[in-house]
Chains A and B, each alone.
Chain A
Protein backbone atom coordinates (compact mmCIF):
# COMPACT_ATOMS: atom_id res chain seq x y z
CA UNK A 1 0.00 0.00 0.00
CA UNK A 2 1.31 3.41 -0.90
CA UNK A 3 0.15 6.56 0.90
CA UNK A 4 0.60 10.22 0.10
CA UNK A 5 3.57 11.16 2.30
CA UNK A 6 2.43 12.84 5.48
CA UNK A 7 5.77 13.20 7.22
CA UNK A 8 7.48 15.62 4.87
CA UNK A 9 9.97 18.29 5.88
CA UNK A 10 8.52 21.76 6.15
CA UNK A 11 10.21 24.24 3.86
CA UNK A 12 9.19 27.70 5.04
CA UNK A 13 7.69 29.93 2.35
CA UNK A 14 10.63 32.31 2.57
CA UNK A 15 13.18 29.59 1.96
CA UNK A 16 11.05 28.25 -0.87
CA UNK A 17 10.88 31.63 -2.57
CA UNK A 18 14.64 31.96 -2.17
CA UNK A 19 15.14 28.66 -3.96
CA UNK A 20 12.72 29.58 -6.71
CA UNK A 21 14.08 33.07 -7.36
CA UNK A 22 17.64 31.72 -7.46
CA UNK A 23 16.61 29.05 -9.96
CA UNK A 24 14.92 31.68 -12.10
CA UNK A 25 18.33 33.36 -12.27
CA UNK A 26 19.97 30.06 -13.18
CA UNK A 27 21.62 29.67 -9.78
CA UNK A 28 21.52 27.36 -6.79
CA UNK A 29 22.12 27.79 -3.10
CA UNK A 30 25.53 26.02 -3.36
CA UNK A 31 26.67 28.54 -5.99
CA UNK A 32 26.30 26.17 -8.89
CA UNK A 33 24.25 26.33 -12.05
CA UNK A 34 21.08 24.35 -12.78
CA UNK A 35 22.80 21.44 -14.49
CA UNK A 36 25.86 20.89 -12.30
CA UNK A 37 25.91 18.37 -9.45
CA UNK A 38 27.18 19.31 -6.00
CA UNK A 39 30.78 18.57 -4.95
CA UNK A 40 31.51 14.86 -5.21
CA UNK A 41 33.87 12.84 -3.05
CA UNK A 42 34.30 9.12 -3.68
CA UNK A 43 36.41 6.82 -1.54
CA UNK A 44 36.62 3.11 -2.26
CA UNK A 45 37.67 0.33 0.11
CA UNK A 46 36.48 1.90 3.33
CA UNK A 47 35.23 -1.27 5.07
CA UNK A 48 37.92 -3.97 5.16
CA UNK A 49 35.60 -6.77 6.20
CA UNK A 50 33.48 -6.29 3.10
CA UNK A 51 34.53 -7.78 -0.25
CA UNK A 52 34.00 -4.31 -1.69
CA UNK A 53 32.93 -0.94 -0.34
CA UNK A 54 32.79 2.75 -1.06
CA UNK A 55 31.65 5.94 0.57
CA UNK A 56 30.30 8.85 -1.40
CA UNK A 57 29.60 12.43 -0.47
CA UNK A 58 27.41 14.41 -2.80
CA UNK A 59 27.19 17.81 -1.19
CA UNK A 60 26.01 16.96 2.31
CA UNK A 61 24.41 13.68 1.31
CA UNK A 62 26.50 10.72 2.43
CA UNK A 63 26.07 7.12 1.39
CA UNK A 64 28.09 4.04 2.29
CA UNK A 65 27.84 0.89 0.21
CA UNK A 66 29.17 -2.49 1.25
CA UNK A 67 29.39 -5.55 -0.99
CA UNK A 68 29.33 -9.01 0.54
CA UNK A 69 29.55 -12.13 -1.57
CA UNK A 70 28.65 -15.69 -0.82
CA UNK A 71 28.09 -18.90 -2.70
CA UNK A 72 24.53 -19.75 -3.64
CA UNK A 73 22.36 -21.43 -6.23
CA UNK A 74 21.35 -19.68 -9.45
CA UNK A 75 17.75 -18.74 -10.27
CA UNK A 76 15.91 -21.48 -12.17
CA UNK A 77 15.40 -19.34 -15.29
CA UNK A 78 19.06 -18.20 -15.41
CA UNK A 79 21.14 -21.28 -14.47
CA UNK A 80 24.28 -19.88 -16.10
CA UNK A 81 24.30 -16.52 -14.31
CA UNK A 82 25.28 -15.30 -10.88
CA UNK A 83 23.04 -13.16 -8.72
CA UNK A 84 23.27 -9.50 -7.78
CA UNK A 85 20.93 -8.36 -5.03
CA UNK A 86 20.58 -4.70 -4.13
CA UNK A 87 19.10 -3.55 -0.84
CA UNK A 88 18.84 -0.06 0.63
CA UNK A 89 18.46 0.95 4.25
CA UNK A 90 17.41 4.45 5.23
CA UNK A 91 18.86 4.11 8.70
CA UNK A 92 17.52 6.52 11.34
CA UNK A 93 20.93 8.09 11.97
CA UNK A 94 20.70 9.72 8.52
CA UNK A 95 17.73 11.99 9.03
CA UNK A 96 15.08 12.97 11.55
CA UNK A 97 12.58 11.80 8.93
CA UNK A 98 13.84 8.23 8.88
CA UNK A 99 12.30 5.71 11.23
CA UNK A 100 13.75 2.36 12.25
CA UNK A 101 12.10 -0.59 10.58
CA UNK A 102 12.02 -2.51 7.34
CA UNK A 103 12.75 -0.57 4.11
CA UNK A 104 9.83 1.66 3.16
CA UNK A 105 8.63 2.32 -0.39
CA UNK A 106 11.30 4.96 -0.96
CA UNK A 107 14.14 2.65 0.04
CA UNK A 108 12.65 -0.17 -2.04
CA UNK A 109 12.25 2.10 -5.06
CA UNK A 110 15.85 3.31 -4.76
CA UNK A 111 17.23 -0.23 -4.51
CA UNK A 112 15.14 -1.46 -7.42
CA UNK A 113 16.07 1.44 -9.70
CA UNK A 114 19.77 0.79 -9.05
CA UNK A 115 19.31 -2.96 -9.38
CA UNK A 116 17.55 -2.59 -12.74
CA UNK A 117 20.10 -0.13 -14.10
CA UNK A 118 22.90 -2.58 -13.29
CA UNK A 119 21.03 -5.61 -14.56
CA UNK A 120 19.73 -4.16 -17.83
CA UNK A 121 23.09 -2.68 -18.79
CA UNK A 122 24.83 -5.91 -17.81
CA UNK A 123 27.28 -3.68 -15.95
CA UNK A 124 28.57 -6.63 -13.96
CA UNK A 125 29.00 -9.69 -16.14
CA UNK A 126 26.67 -12.14 -14.44
CA UNK A 127 27.89 -15.07 -16.53
CA UNK A 128 31.36 -14.60 -15.03
CA UNK A 129 29.88 -15.22 -11.59
CA UNK A 130 29.26 -18.90 -12.25
CA UNK A 131 31.29 -21.39 -10.20
CA UNK A 132 29.61 -24.67 -11.22
CA UNK A 133 27.07 -24.09 -14.03
CA UNK A 134 23.49 -24.65 -12.88
CA UNK A 135 24.60 -25.37 -9.33
CA UNK A 136 26.92 -22.90 -7.67
CA UNK A 137 27.22 -19.20 -8.40
CA UNK A 138 28.43 -16.10 -6.63
CA UNK A 139 25.66 -14.11 -4.97
CA UNK A 140 26.73 -10.47 -4.76
CA UNK A 141 24.87 -8.51 -2.09
CA UNK A 142 24.98 -4.76 -2.51
CA UNK A 143 23.84 -3.00 0.66
CA UNK A 144 23.22 0.72 0.41
CA UNK A 145 23.49 2.53 3.71
CA UNK A 146 22.38 6.14 3.84
CA UNK A 147 24.45 8.02 6.43
CA UNK A 148 23.28 11.58 5.92
CA UNK A 149 20.29 12.61 3.88
CA UNK A 150 20.40 15.93 2.12
CA UNK A 151 18.54 15.01 -1.06
CA UNK A 152 19.25 12.94 -4.17
CA UNK A 153 19.96 9.55 -2.71
CA UNK A 154 19.72 8.04 -6.18
CA UNK A 155 22.91 9.51 -7.65
CA UNK A 156 24.94 9.21 -4.45
CA UNK A 157 23.88 5.57 -4.02
CA UNK A 158 24.56 4.68 -7.65
CA UNK A 159 28.04 6.23 -7.51
CA UNK A 160 28.83 4.40 -4.27
CA UNK A 161 27.44 1.14 -5.66
CA UNK A 162 29.51 1.40 -8.82
CA UNK A 163 32.68 2.25 -6.87
CA UNK A 164 32.05 -0.59 -4.40
CA UNK A 165 31.51 -3.12 -7.20
CA UNK A 166 34.76 -2.03 -8.86
CA UNK A 167 36.44 -2.37 -5.46
CA UNK A 168 35.05 -5.87 -4.91
CA UNK A 169 37.41 -8.85 -4.83
CA UNK A 170 36.03 -12.39 -4.90
CA UNK A 171 37.54 -14.85 -2.43
CA UNK A 172 39.71 -17.66 -3.70
CA UNK A 173 38.07 -21.04 -3.27
CA UNK A 174 38.56 -24.74 -3.72
CA UNK A 175 36.06 -27.28 -4.88
CA UNK A 176 35.83 -30.21 -2.50
CA UNK A 177 35.17 -33.77 -3.65
CA UNK A 178 31.72 -33.55 -2.08
CA UNK A 179 30.91 -30.74 -4.51
CA UNK A 180 31.08 -28.17 -1.74
CA UNK A 181 32.89 -24.89 -2.23
CA UNK A 182 35.35 -23.89 0.47
CA UNK A 183 36.27 -20.23 0.56
CA UNK A 184 39.80 -19.14 1.40
CA UNK A 185 41.03 -16.08 3.23
CA UNK A 186 42.65 -14.66 0.11
CA UNK A 187 40.57 -12.30 -2.02
CA UNK A 188 42.00 -11.13 -5.28
CA UNK A 189 39.67 -11.68 -8.29
CA UNK A 190 37.87 -8.50 -9.30
CA UNK A 191 34.36 -8.64 -10.72
CA UNK A 192 34.14 -8.53 -14.47
CA UNK A 193 32.71 -5.09 -15.13
CA UNK A 194 31.39 -4.46 -18.65
CA UNK A 195 29.92 -1.01 -18.21
CA UNK A 196 30.17 1.93 -15.90
CA UNK A 197 26.68 3.12 -15.02
CA UNK A 198 25.48 6.25 -13.32
CA UNK A 199 22.09 7.77 -12.63
CA UNK A 200 21.26 11.44 -12.95
CA UNK A 201 18.42 12.81 -10.85
CA UNK A 202 16.71 15.69 -12.63
CA UNK A 203 14.09 17.57 -10.62
CA UNK A 204 11.30 19.59 -12.15
CA UNK A 205 10.57 22.78 -10.23
CA UNK A 206 7.91 24.88 -11.89
CA UNK A 207 9.08 25.32 -15.47
CA UNK A 208 12.70 24.54 -14.63
CA UNK A 209 14.73 21.37 -14.70
CA UNK A 210 17.66 21.06 -12.30
CA UNK A 211 20.28 18.37 -11.80
CA UNK A 212 21.09 16.81 -8.42
CA UNK A 213 18.47 18.47 -6.18
CA UNK A 214 19.40 19.01 -2.54
CA UNK A 215 16.82 18.22 0.14
CA UNK A 216 15.10 21.62 0.07
CA UNK A 217 14.91 21.53 -3.71
CA UNK A 218 13.64 17.96 -3.68
CA UNK A 219 10.97 18.96 -1.17
CA UNK A 220 9.63 21.78 -3.32
CA UNK A 221 10.06 19.91 -6.62
CA UNK A 222 6.97 18.88 -8.59
CA UNK A 223 8.56 15.60 -9.55
CA UNK A 224 11.87 13.98 -10.47
CA UNK A 225 13.14 11.97 -13.39
CA UNK A 226 15.98 9.60 -12.64
CA UNK A 227 17.82 8.60 -15.80
CA UNK A 228 20.56 5.94 -15.80
CA UNK A 229 23.32 6.09 -18.42
CA UNK A 230 26.16 3.76 -19.30
CA UNK A 231 29.58 5.17 -20.19
CA UNK A 232 28.83 4.65 -23.89
CA UNK A 233 25.94 7.10 -23.72
CA UNK A 234 23.03 4.66 -23.76
CA UNK A 235 20.03 5.18 -21.54
CA UNK A 236 19.89 2.08 -19.33
CA UNK A 237 16.97 2.96 -17.05
CA UNK A 238 14.46 5.67 -16.25
CA UNK A 239 12.17 6.27 -13.31
CA UNK A 240 9.73 9.11 -12.80
CA UNK A 241 9.67 9.46 -9.04
CA UNK A 242 7.43 11.95 -7.29
CA UNK A 243 3.88 13.17 -7.32
CA UNK A 244 3.85 15.56 -10.28
CA UNK A 245 3.84 15.04 -14.00
CA UNK A 246 6.03 16.07 -16.94
CA UNK A 247 5.44 16.91 -20.56
CA UNK A 248 7.00 14.98 -23.44
CA UNK A 249 9.38 17.89 -24.10
CA UNK A 250 10.46 18.08 -20.45
CA UNK A 251 11.27 14.37 -20.43
CA UNK A 252 13.37 14.57 -23.60
CA UNK A 253 15.13 17.70 -22.36
CA UNK A 254 15.84 16.01 -19.02
CA UNK A 255 17.47 13.06 -20.79
CA UNK A 256 19.73 15.51 -22.69
CA UNK A 257 20.66 17.52 -19.63
CA UNK A 258 21.28 14.31 -17.72
CA UNK A 259 23.70 12.90 -20.27
CA UNK A 260 25.98 15.90 -19.69
CA UNK A 261 25.78 15.60 -15.91
CA UNK A 262 26.50 11.88 -16.24
CA UNK A 263 29.92 12.78 -17.64
CA UNK A 264 30.67 14.74 -14.46
CA UNK A 265 29.86 11.64 -12.42
CA UNK A 266 31.93 9.36 -14.69
CA UNK A 267 34.85 11.75 -14.34
CA UNK A 268 34.58 11.65 -10.55
CA UNK A 269 34.66 7.86 -10.63
CA UNK A 270 37.70 7.99 -12.91
CA UNK A 271 39.50 10.43 -10.58
CA UNK A 272 38.72 8.37 -7.49
CA UNK A 273 39.55 4.95 -8.91
CA UNK A 274 42.18 5.78 -11.50
CA UNK A 275 43.82 2.63 -12.88
CA UNK A 276 41.28 0.41 -11.15
CA UNK A 277 38.55 1.62 -13.49
CA UNK A 278 37.99 -1.45 -15.71
CA UNK A 279 36.85 0.44 -18.82
CA UNK A 280 38.01 3.54 -20.63
CA UNK A 281 35.58 6.40 -20.41
CA UNK A 282 35.51 8.25 -23.71
Chain B
Protein backbone atom coordinates (compact mmCIF):
# COMPACT_ATOMS: atom_id res chain seq x y z
CA UNK B 1 0.00 0.00 0.00
CA UNK B 2 1.32 3.41 -0.95
CA UNK B 3 1.87 5.64 2.01
CA UNK B 4 -0.75 8.34 2.15
CA UNK B 5 1.79 11.14 2.13
CA UNK B 6 3.20 9.99 -1.22
CA UNK B 7 -0.11 10.58 -2.95
CA UNK B 8 -0.68 13.92 -4.59
CA UNK B 9 -4.27 14.88 -3.90
CA UNK B 10 -4.56 18.10 -5.89
CA UNK B 11 -3.06 18.06 -9.38
CA UNK B 12 -1.53 20.94 -11.34
CA UNK B 13 -4.95 21.80 -12.78
CA UNK B 14 -6.48 22.10 -9.31
CA UNK B 15 -8.39 18.83 -9.68
CA UNK B 16 -8.80 16.34 -6.85
CA UNK B 17 -7.83 12.67 -6.98
CA UNK B 18 -11.26 11.73 -8.35
CA UNK B 19 -11.35 14.60 -10.84
CA UNK B 20 -13.53 16.94 -8.82
CA UNK B 21 -12.88 20.66 -8.45
CA UNK B 22 -12.46 21.98 -4.89
CA UNK B 23 -16.05 23.22 -4.59
CA UNK B 24 -17.59 20.18 -6.24
CA UNK B 25 -19.68 17.61 -4.37
CA UNK B 26 -19.73 13.95 -5.26
CA UNK B 27 -22.85 12.74 -7.08
CA UNK B 28 -25.67 12.80 -4.53
CA UNK B 29 -28.68 10.53 -4.59
CA UNK B 30 -31.68 10.61 -2.27
CA UNK B 31 -34.61 8.21 -1.95
CA UNK B 32 -37.39 8.07 0.61
CA UNK B 33 -39.86 5.42 1.69
CA UNK B 34 -37.33 2.64 1.23
CA UNK B 35 -38.36 0.59 4.28
CA UNK B 36 -41.90 -0.69 4.86
CA UNK B 37 -41.94 -1.11 8.62
CA UNK B 38 -40.53 2.27 9.56
CA UNK B 39 -42.82 5.30 9.81
CA UNK B 40 -40.33 7.09 7.60
CA UNK B 41 -37.10 6.13 5.88
CA UNK B 42 -34.47 7.40 3.48
CA UNK B 43 -31.40 6.20 1.64
CA UNK B 44 -28.79 8.84 0.87
CA UNK B 45 -25.60 8.47 -1.15
CA UNK B 46 -22.66 10.82 -1.53
CA UNK B 47 -20.47 9.02 -4.04
CA UNK B 48 -19.73 5.65 -2.49
CA UNK B 49 -20.92 6.69 0.98
CA UNK B 50 -24.31 5.10 1.51
CA UNK B 51 -26.45 5.74 4.59
CA UNK B 52 -29.87 4.43 5.55
CA UNK B 53 -32.10 6.18 8.10
CA UNK B 54 -35.34 4.96 9.65
CA UNK B 55 -37.69 6.93 11.89
CA UNK B 56 -40.20 5.45 14.30
CA UNK B 57 -42.66 7.49 16.28
CA UNK B 58 -43.86 9.47 18.00
CA UNK B 59 -44.66 6.33 19.95
CA UNK B 60 -44.99 5.11 23.49
CA UNK B 61 -41.46 4.95 24.96
CA UNK B 62 -40.12 1.44 25.33
CA UNK B 63 -39.09 2.09 28.92
CA UNK B 64 -40.93 4.11 31.55
CA UNK B 65 -37.87 6.04 32.70
CA UNK B 66 -37.61 7.63 29.28
CA UNK B 67 -40.80 9.64 29.70
CA UNK B 68 -40.36 13.40 29.63
CA UNK B 69 -43.43 15.26 30.92
CA UNK B 70 -43.18 18.28 28.65
CA UNK B 71 -41.78 17.02 25.36
CA UNK B 72 -40.97 14.00 23.23
CA UNK B 73 -37.72 12.21 23.92
CA UNK B 74 -35.37 11.77 20.97
CA UNK B 75 -33.35 8.61 20.59
CA UNK B 76 -30.65 8.54 17.96
CA UNK B 77 -28.37 5.73 17.00
CA UNK B 78 -25.61 6.19 14.43
CA UNK B 79 -24.20 2.80 13.63
CA UNK B 80 -21.80 1.44 11.04
CA UNK B 81 -22.46 -1.92 9.46
CA UNK B 82 -19.54 -4.33 10.03
CA UNK B 83 -19.02 -4.58 6.26
CA UNK B 84 -19.13 -0.82 5.62
CA UNK B 85 -15.40 -0.28 6.04
CA UNK B 86 -12.22 -1.65 4.48
CA UNK B 87 -11.47 -3.66 7.60
CA UNK B 88 -14.46 -5.26 9.32
CA UNK B 89 -15.85 -2.98 11.99
CA UNK B 90 -16.95 -4.64 15.19
CA UNK B 91 -20.72 -4.23 15.51
CA UNK B 92 -20.37 -3.15 19.15
CA UNK B 93 -20.78 0.62 19.46
CA UNK B 94 -17.42 2.39 19.33
CA UNK B 95 -16.62 5.63 21.17
CA UNK B 96 -16.80 7.38 17.83
CA UNK B 97 -20.31 6.06 17.18
CA UNK B 98 -21.43 7.08 20.66
CA UNK B 99 -20.16 10.63 20.11
CA UNK B 100 -21.68 10.87 16.64
CA UNK B 101 -25.03 9.61 17.89
CA UNK B 102 -24.96 12.49 20.36
CA UNK B 103 -24.02 15.24 17.92
CA UNK B 104 -26.56 13.97 15.38
CA UNK B 105 -29.28 13.93 18.06
CA UNK B 106 -28.31 17.47 18.97
CA UNK B 107 -28.63 18.46 15.31
CA UNK B 108 -32.36 17.73 15.51
CA UNK B 109 -33.39 18.69 19.06
CA UNK B 110 -34.04 22.28 17.96
CA UNK B 111 -35.65 21.23 14.65
CA UNK B 112 -38.27 18.65 15.61
CA UNK B 113 -41.32 20.15 17.35
CA UNK B 114 -40.91 17.91 20.37
CA UNK B 115 -43.11 19.98 22.67
CA UNK B 116 -46.31 18.83 20.95
CA UNK B 117 -45.75 15.19 21.83
CA UNK B 118 -45.01 14.93 25.56
CA UNK B 119 -44.43 11.47 27.02
CA UNK B 120 -43.60 9.98 23.64
CA UNK B 121 -40.39 8.85 21.98
CA UNK B 122 -39.15 9.61 18.48
CA UNK B 123 -36.45 7.26 17.26
CA UNK B 124 -33.94 7.92 14.51
CA UNK B 125 -31.92 4.86 13.58
CA UNK B 126 -29.04 5.32 11.17
CA UNK B 127 -27.06 2.56 9.52
CA UNK B 128 -23.97 3.36 7.51
CA UNK B 129 -24.00 0.70 4.79
CA UNK B 130 -20.82 1.86 3.08
CA UNK B 131 -18.35 4.39 4.44
CA UNK B 132 -16.27 6.57 2.14
CA UNK B 133 -16.02 9.78 4.17
CA UNK B 134 -18.75 12.17 5.21
CA UNK B 135 -20.92 9.53 6.86
CA UNK B 136 -22.16 11.75 9.71
CA UNK B 137 -23.30 14.51 7.37
CA UNK B 138 -24.91 11.99 5.02
CA UNK B 139 -26.58 10.56 8.14
CA UNK B 140 -28.04 13.96 9.08
CA UNK B 141 -29.31 14.39 5.51
CA UNK B 142 -30.90 10.94 5.52
CA UNK B 143 -32.43 11.54 8.97
CA UNK B 144 -33.97 14.82 7.81
CA UNK B 145 -35.62 13.05 4.86
CA UNK B 146 -36.77 10.13 6.99
CA UNK B 147 -38.33 12.51 9.54
CA UNK B 148 -40.18 14.36 6.78
CA UNK B 149 -41.24 11.02 5.31
CA UNK B 150 -42.56 9.93 8.72
CA UNK B 151 -44.60 13.12 9.04
CA UNK B 152 -42.82 14.24 12.21
CA UNK B 153 -43.51 18.00 12.49
CA UNK B 154 -40.28 19.93 12.05
CA UNK B 155 -39.34 23.60 11.71
CA UNK B 156 -37.26 23.07 8.58
CA UNK B 157 -35.32 20.49 6.60
CA UNK B 158 -31.69 19.86 7.53
CA UNK B 159 -28.75 18.68 5.44
CA UNK B 160 -25.06 18.24 6.09
CA UNK B 161 -21.72 18.29 4.29
CA UNK B 162 -18.07 18.37 5.30
CA UNK B 163 -15.44 20.83 4.14
CA UNK B 164 -11.85 19.69 4.26
CA UNK B 165 -8.43 21.20 3.75
CA UNK B 166 -6.02 19.23 1.64
CA UNK B 167 -2.62 20.47 0.54
CA UNK B 168 -3.62 23.94 1.63
CA UNK B 169 -6.84 24.04 -0.39
CA UNK B 170 -10.36 24.10 1.07
CA UNK B 171 -12.44 21.40 -0.59
CA UNK B 172 -16.06 20.38 -0.36
CA UNK B 173 -17.35 16.91 0.52
CA UNK B 174 -14.16 15.08 1.47
CA UNK B 175 -14.00 11.35 0.85
CA UNK B 176 -12.04 8.83 2.87
CA UNK B 177 -8.78 9.18 0.95
CA UNK B 178 -8.83 12.96 1.39
CA UNK B 179 -9.90 12.73 5.02
CA UNK B 180 -7.02 10.37 5.74
CA UNK B 181 -4.31 12.81 4.75
CA UNK B 182 -6.07 16.18 4.88
CA UNK B 183 -5.11 18.93 7.28
CA UNK B 184 -8.70 19.48 8.42
CA UNK B 185 -12.20 18.08 8.25
CA UNK B 186 -15.11 20.32 9.19
CA UNK B 187 -18.56 18.70 9.15
CA UNK B 188 -21.49 21.14 9.12
CA UNK B 189 -25.25 20.57 9.21
CA UNK B 190 -27.78 23.34 8.90
CA UNK B 191 -31.39 24.27 8.26
CA UNK B 192 -30.89 27.00 5.65
CA UNK B 193 -34.57 28.00 5.56
CA UNK B 194 -34.28 29.30 9.12
CA UNK B 195 -30.58 30.16 9.07
CA UNK B 196 -29.57 27.72 11.78
CA UNK B 197 -26.44 25.65 12.06
CA UNK B 198 -27.29 22.53 14.02
CA UNK B 199 -24.09 20.48 13.82
CA UNK B 200 -20.61 21.93 13.68
CA UNK B 201 -17.28 20.27 14.27
CA UNK B 202 -13.71 20.85 13.24
CA UNK B 203 -11.07 18.16 13.34
CA UNK B 204 -7.85 19.77 12.24
CA UNK B 205 -6.06 23.06 12.05
CA UNK B 206 -7.47 26.13 10.30
CA UNK B 207 -7.09 29.87 10.61
CA UNK B 208 -10.16 31.83 11.60
CA UNK B 209 -10.45 33.09 8.02
CA UNK B 210 -10.41 29.52 6.72
CA UNK B 211 -13.14 28.53 9.18
CA UNK B 212 -15.27 31.36 7.82
CA UNK B 213 -14.61 30.53 4.19
CA UNK B 214 -15.16 26.82 4.77
CA UNK B 215 -18.38 27.46 6.65
CA UNK B 216 -19.70 29.52 3.75
CA UNK B 217 -18.75 26.80 1.28
CA UNK B 218 -20.62 24.28 3.39
CA UNK B 219 -23.70 26.49 3.79
CA UNK B 220 -23.86 27.09 0.05
CA UNK B 221 -23.77 23.33 -0.59
CA UNK B 222 -26.31 22.64 2.15
CA UNK B 223 -28.77 24.98 0.44
CA UNK B 224 -28.48 22.86 -2.70
CA UNK B 225 -28.84 19.65 -0.71
CA UNK B 226 -32.02 20.90 0.98
CA UNK B 227 -33.43 21.82 -2.44
CA UNK B 228 -32.70 18.27 -3.52
CA UNK B 229 -34.46 16.98 -0.37
CA UNK B 230 -37.54 19.07 -1.24
CA UNK B 231 -37.52 17.71 -4.79
CA UNK B 232 -37.21 14.16 -3.49
CA UNK B 233 -40.16 14.62 -1.11
CA UNK B 234 -42.40 16.22 -3.74
CA UNK B 235 -41.53 13.63 -6.39
CA UNK B 236 -42.75 10.84 -4.13
CA UNK B 237 -46.24 12.35 -4.41
CA UNK B 238 -46.05 13.43 -8.03
CA UNK B 239 -45.32 9.92 -9.27
CA UNK B 240 -48.43 8.55 -7.57
CA UNK B 241 -50.51 11.33 -9.07
CA UNK B 242 -49.90 10.01 -12.56
CA UNK B 243 -51.59 6.66 -11.87
Check A248 against B102 for contact (C-beta < 8 Å). no
* B144 vs chain A, min Cβ distance (A): 13
Partner of A225, one of B99, B110, B200: B200
For B14, what are the chain A residues with a Cβ–Cβ distance below 8 Å?
A: none
- Measured between beta carbons, the chain A residues less than 8 angstroms from B211 are 235, 238, 252, 255
Q: Of B95, B105, B197, B207, which one neighbours A108 at CB under 8 angstroms?
A: B95
Q: Do A109 and B99 form a contact, CB below 8 Å, given A1-B76, A120-B204, A238-B202? A: yes
Q: Which of A225-242 contact B (CB under 8 A)?
A: 225, 230, 233-242
Provide 19 A-B residue pairs closer than 8 Å at the C-beta atoms, listed in order of the A residue.
Answer: A4-B68, A4-B73, A4-B74, A4-B109, A6-B65, A109-B102, A112-B95, A112-B99, A116-B203, A233-B207, A237-B202, A237-B203, A238-B186, A239-B200, A239-B201, A240-B103, A242-B106, A245-B198, A255-B211
Task: Verify B106–A235 contact, CB threshold 8 A.
Answer: no
Question: Please, which residue of chain B has its CB at the minimum distance from the CB of A247?
Answer: B195
Q: Is the CB of A9 closer than 8 A to any CB of chain B? A: no
Q: Is the CB of B205 within 8 A of A120?
A: yes
Are B105's CB and A244's CB within 8 A?
Answer: no
Do B75 and A105 touch (CB < 8 A)?
no
A189 proximal to B (CB < 8 A): no
Partner of A2, one of B4, B75, B199, B204: B75
Chain B 208-239 interface residues, beta-carbon cutoff 8 Å to A: 208, 211-212, 215-216, 219
Contact A2 B77 (CB under 8 A): yes
Q: For chain A, what secondary structure do more than half of its interface residues adopt (helix, strand, loop), or is it mixed?
A: mixed
* Residue B26 is within 8 A (CB to CB) of chain A in the complex: no
| Residues of chain A having any CB pair with chain B under 8 Å | 1-4, 6, 77, 105-106, 108-109, 111-112, 116, 120-121, 222-223, 225, 230, 233-248, 251-252, 255-256, 259
Q: Is the CB of A243 within 8 A of B106?
A: yes
Q: Are B201 and A248 in contact (CB under 8 A)?
A: no
A204 smallest CB distance to B (angstroms)? 11
Which residues of A lie under 8 Å from residue B99 when comparing CB positions?
A: 105, 108-109, 112
In B93-142, the 8 Å CB interface with A consists of 93, 95-96, 98-99, 101-106, 109-111, 114
Contacts of A3 in B (CB 8 A): 66, 73-75, 105
Number of interface residues of B (CB under 8 A): 48
Q: Are A245's CB and B65's CB within 8 A?
A: no
Q: Is the interface of B mostly helix, strand, loop or mixed?
A: mixed
Q: Is the CB of B215 within 8 A of A248?
A: yes
The residues of B that contact A248 with a CB separation of less than 8 Å are 195, 197, 215-216, 219
Query: Given A2-B98, A4-B73, A105-B99, are A235 and B109 also a contact pair (CB < 8 Å)?
Result: no
A238 CB contacts on chain B under 8 angstroms? 186, 200-202, 211
> Do A120 and B203 have beta carbons less than 8 Å apart?
yes
Could you tell me the distance between the alpha carbons of A126 and B205 in the complex, rounded to whole angstroms? 17
- Which one of A111, A116, A121, A223 contacts B106 once the chains associate, using CB atoms below 8 Å? A223
Chain A minimum-CB-distance residue to B109: A243
Q: For the complex, give the distance between the alpha carbons of A252 and B210 in Å.
A: 11
Give the residue name and chain of the A residue nearest to B185 (CB): A120
* Per-position binary interface string of chain B over residues 1-36, scored 1 when its CB falls under 8 Å from any chain A CB and 0 otherwise: 000100000000000000000000000000000000
CB neighbours (8 Å) of B197 from chain A are: 240, 245-248, 251
> Chain A: which residue is nearest B101 at the CB level?
A2
Q: Could you give, for residues 56-91 of chain B, a 1 whenever the CB lies within 8 Å of some chain A CB and a 0 otherwise? A: 000000000111100101111100000000000000
8 extra interface residue pairs, beta carbon distance < 8 Å, beyond A2-B105, A3-B74? A1-B77, A4-B105, A4-B114, A105-B101, A108-B99, A244-B110, A245-B197, A259-B208
CA A112 – CA B204 in complex, angstroms?
A: 13
Which B-chain residue is minimally distant from A79 (CB atoms)? B3
B191 contacts the other chain (Cβ, under 8 Å)?
Answer: yes
Residues in A with CB closer than 8 Å to B184 are 120
Are A2 and B200 in touch, CB under 8 angstroms? no
